[in-house]
Amino acid sequence: MKTSPVAFLLGLTIALACAAGCASARREEQVPSNTLTERERADGWRLLFDGRTTKGWRGYRRAEMPSGWQVVDGALTRVAEGGDIVTEGEFGEFELAFEWRISPGGNSGVMFHVTEDHEAPWETGPEYQILDDAGHQDGLDPLTSAASNYAMHVPVKGPARPAGEWNQSWIRVLGAHVEHGLNGTQVLEYDLWSPDWKERVRASKWKDRSDYGMREAGRIALQDHGDRVAYRNIKVRILD
């Protein structure tokens, strides 16, 4: 059966479009870790970790970067006792994207709006929980499972990958409104400073710290909870 010129041209167009899409997908897959695409730069993203040095980070309430955090295979990694680390810059309204990989049974966290007027970051900054749900007891309670707002808000269950595999996460803070994302899914949202927030604080481990989560800006912190954890592709864009 002969193919009409119209059908031939239509098939050729579809084939070329598919080839272009596949080539684009391959280029996207080949973007090196800890770099920004042209689109990301145009959208206002900037790196918080260059993949080679610890520039831009330091120990909490310290001037220097603790040796327990090292760059390993392009990831900012907790390799030994070093304490929590924080960004040199402060952020109010922002979107943070990052990838993380936790060791079996491991625990860590990413906190924001952290100020250094208390002994530890967790006393001021809300925490995006980083956890091996299957290997850590905190994974038994949805309130402290991976991607939760630690001990405050429960995430959608299921999207965290097993220990040793990379997860993609994001935190979006716009005014009082906060959203958590994990592996392509928005898993929860909540509002800081609200009556509901204050009530949850009163019913939590922070019942004696009424100022918990009440800052409007602060540093981003990575928690040293005693386990090996790695972070890469840490990037931020300001929303205010």
- C-beta atoms surrounding 154 within 10 Å: 15
**Tokens read off for 212:** 């918990």
Strand partners, 78: 69, 229
pLDDT at 29: 52
Residue type at 78 in one-letter notation: R
Please give the pLDDT value at position 1. 47
Pairing label, strands 177-182, 167-174:
antiparallel
pLDDT in tens, 24-63: 444 445 789 999 999 999 999 999 999 999 999 999 999 9
Cα 62 from chain centroid (whole Å) = 23
Task: Give the pTM.
Answer: 0.87
Decide: 100 and 130 in contact? Cβ < 8 Å: yes
Segment holding 181, helix H or strand E: strand 177-182
CA distances for 189 relative to 36, 86, 152, 160, 216, angstroms: 27, 24, 11, 17, 17
CB within 8 Å of 84: residues ≥ 6 apart: 59, 60, 120, 121, 221, 222, 223, 224
Q: Could you say which residues of the chain have pLDDT below 70?
A: 1-29
pLDDT of residue 123: 97
- Give the helix/strand (H/E) hosting 133: none
Question: What does the DSSP 8-state code read for residue 96?
Answer: E
Q: What letter represents residue 56's amino acid?
A: G
With CA atoms as reference, report the closest residue to 182 among 164, 151, 157, 213.
Answer: 157
Position 31 scores a pLDDT of: 80
Could you tell me which residues are beta bridge partners of residue 171? 96, 180
Please work out, in degrees rounded to the nearest 5, the angle formed at the alpha carbon of residue 75 by the alpha carbons of 105 and 188.
60
34-238 fold: Jelly Rolls (2.60.120)
